[in-house]
Structure formats: structure tokens, C-alpha cells
Structure 1
Amino acid sequence: LSLLAMYGFKERKWWLFLGAFFAVSWWNFDYSGIGIQLMLIFFLCRNHPKIGAALYVLTYLPCLWGGYLEDPLALKLGGFAVDWAVFALLAAPLIFLPTRSGLKIPKWFFYAFYPAHLAVIAAIQFML
């Protein structure tokens, strides 16, 4: 559905974009609406990394006060809880700082790597 949302955005089919965004948010898919928001930031700011980095950080700032003390997965600091998603801020330098390594990886590698690593994780889980 996220790809449908991005297709709707790029092709200016707003009904498709809004429908996919609503469906992803309503049924709480993996990244929900935040995933589509991040794709839009990466797409729209691909030539403006400073603006993209600022929007990325602003997206995750609510995590600083978004945790619940009752949540067993929340990072608790005294009487204050921080949502674990705040650690996405640690990825900002890796995403936005240019590396210029010159390493060329074929596009098809990532199309093969993603399902392959999920299969390895599933196999490990099955064995355990």
C-alpha cells in the first residue's frame, strides 16, 4: 500500500494517495502513516539533504515524550518514558551524510537481498 501511495503522489492521483495513506494508517501496517511520510521526505528532499535531515528529525522528536510508563517496551528514565522509536534519530547521520565511497552496487542486488534476508531470519526462527 505504501508503494500505491507513492505512485498516487508521483502521478498526482490524489484519491489513490489519500486512500492508501488512510488504509495504511487505519489498519496500522508495519510503519503506518509514518512510513509514507518518511518516503515523501526522502523523495521530495533527495536534492536537499539538509532540509530532508531536518524533516526526518522533526518526524521522530515526538518520540521523546511519546512513551507510556505502563508500556513494558518503553525506555524508562525515572518517572519519564521515551518511545523506542527515538533511536531512529541515531540513523540520521548514516542516511544523510554523503559517503562518496564510489562503490557501485547493481540495483537488482537489493531486490534479491531483502527477501533473502527475511528467508534467513525465518529459517533461524524455525530452527529455534
Structure 2
Amino acid sequence: MVSLPDLSFAEQTVLFVLVSSLVFTTSFVGGLGLLSGALVATQSRLPVYVLGMAVVFVASMFGLITYDADGVTAMLGSVGISLLGFVLLGLTGEGIVYAIRYPDRVFGSQLVIYFLAAGLIGTGLGYWVVSYWREFTARPATAE
């Protein structure tokens, strides 16, 4: 079995870009499905999305504390990350359901290519935010 640390930096980067772009693209498809009104009974899948949010909360808490975030930053960061995770998990899940139920609407037009392009842009923005998140959470220096 290949674990992530066994991959080279280039392989990890390619894997990250592929997975992240696929998730973003699928979430855009989910947004389309919800906005079009084609998806019904989404509340039946809500408990799964809430469970996913809880997993994201715990993982982000451990991750932020591991990288020496203070208590307030760890809590607020984990809440923000878990809310973002909930939205992303929900839209991605709905995107999968929409693509399975209506493949002609998803793959029958060039819209999925635009969603893939937007997913790649979202991946770049997400990587930038993760790389520079401390700049956003740092308290400004006060003049004395």
C-alpha cells in the first residue's frame, strides 16, 4: 500500500490538484442541481453532511493545535473550516447525486468544462489560503 508520505512532492502536488479540483467541480454541479430544483429530499442526506462536518471540525482542531495555533485561533479556525467543510461536503454530495440522476445535463453540455476550470481556480485559491492563513489571523502590531 502506498501512503502519502511515500509520494514525491510533485506526486503529492498532482494528487492534491486532481482531488481538490474534482471536489470543487462536483460541488459546482451540486449547486447547479440545487438551484435548478431537480434535487429533492436533500434533507434525507443532511445527517451524513453533519457527520462529515464534525469529522472536519475535529481534524482541523488537531491540525491547528499541531501547528501551534493559540486557543482562540484554533477554535475560531476550526469552526470556520468545519462550516466551509459542511457546505463543500453538502454541495459535493448533491453534485454526485445530480450527476448520477441526470448525466445528460451534466456531461451533455460544455458546462462541466467551465465547472472544471472554476474548480482549478478554487484549488489555487484554496492552496493560497492554506499557505498564508497565519497572515489573516495575526493581530496587527500596535504602535507604542
Q: TM-score, normalised by structure 2?
A: 0.33
Q: TM-score, normalised by structure 1?
A: 0.35
Higher helix share goes to which structure? 2
Q: Which has the higher contact order (CA 8 A, sep 6+)?
A: 2
Higher strand share goes to which structure? 1
